Amino acid sequence: MRLASGIEKFQTLVYPQMRRDFRELESGQTPETLFITCSDSRINPNLLTQTKPGELFVIRNAGNIVPKPGTGELSVEATIQYAVEVLEVKNIVVCGHSHCGAVTGLMNLDSLDSMPAIKNWVRKSEKVLDQVNHSDEGRICEAIKANVLLQIEHLMEYPYVAKAVAAQQLEIYGWVYHFENGQVEFLDQEAAVA
């Protein structure tokens, strides 16, 4: 298995150089950012942001979706609550990406009829379908952006998120990462809460 040789390389070449960082992290974590992104294997949050262990608190799922609070998605909800109320992160980044399969599935819901778990999950972003002009050739790109902004809307429905934002203790950002050329679009998050 290739992963085992990766661990061996990490332990012999990488860990010795980072020993001090990891030892310091034994006393706890103080990440400043909750980074919400897609499960897509082409996205590597630490590589993209050049951050080290201890710097990003991460939620990943298909389509970087933040369900509305109270809808029973406790994995996401509990992780957001821990980030905001316990770790008191200063930033939340929702990072979508180019060529996102989850958003492409959302735009073609009928293609997911045989995969109900995926269909029901991406439908949490169904509002995107109301916002994107279906005749537009670049509709997947538009949907990827609209999907990020929708998740910011959902985040603001979490009372402790809204409270921290109002108190200027927390800022929320929407990004779209184009992995094929390394570019990042910084979206206007005001559009999300308008």
Residue 150: name the closest of 186, 109, 191 by CA.
191
* Distance, CA of 98 to CA of 43 (rounded, Å): 10
Phi first, then psi, for residue 73 (nearest 5°) are -90, 70
Should residue 118 be labelled a site residue for Zn ion when binding is judged by CB under 5 A?
no
**Distance of alpha carbon 181 from alpha carbon 125, whole angstroms:** 26
- Verify whether residue 97 is a known catalytic residue: yes
Q: Is 178 a catalytic residue?
A: no
When asked if residue 40 is in the footprint of Zn ion (CB under 5 A), the reply is yes
Which CB, 84 or 94, lies closer to Zn ion?
A: 94
Out of 19, 21, 42, 136, which one is annotated catalytic?
42
The answer to whether residue 40 is catalytic is yes
Buried residues in 148-170 as b, exposed as e (16+ CB within 10 A): bbbbbbbbbebeebeebbeeeeb
Stretch that binds Zn ion, among 92-100, 142-150, 154-162, 173-181 (CB under 5 A): 92-100
Is 141 an annotated catalytic residue? no
**Catalytic residue flag (residue 38):** yes
66 binds Zn ion (CB under 5 A): no
Q: Catalytic residue among 95, 97, 141, 154, which?
A: 97
Give residues with Cβ within 8 angstroms of 7, minimum separation 6: none
d(CA 121, CA 146): 16
Applying CB under 5 A, which of residues 34, 36, 38, 106 lies at the interface with Zn ion?
Answer: 38
- Applying CB under 5 A, among 100, 106, 122, 176 the residue interacting with Zn ion is 100
Determine, following the binding rule CB under 5 A, whether residue 142 of this chain makes contact with Zn ion: no
Query: Which residues bind to Zn ion, rule: CB under 5 A?
Result: 38, 40, 100, 102
Residues annotated as catalytic are: 38, 40, 42, 97, 100
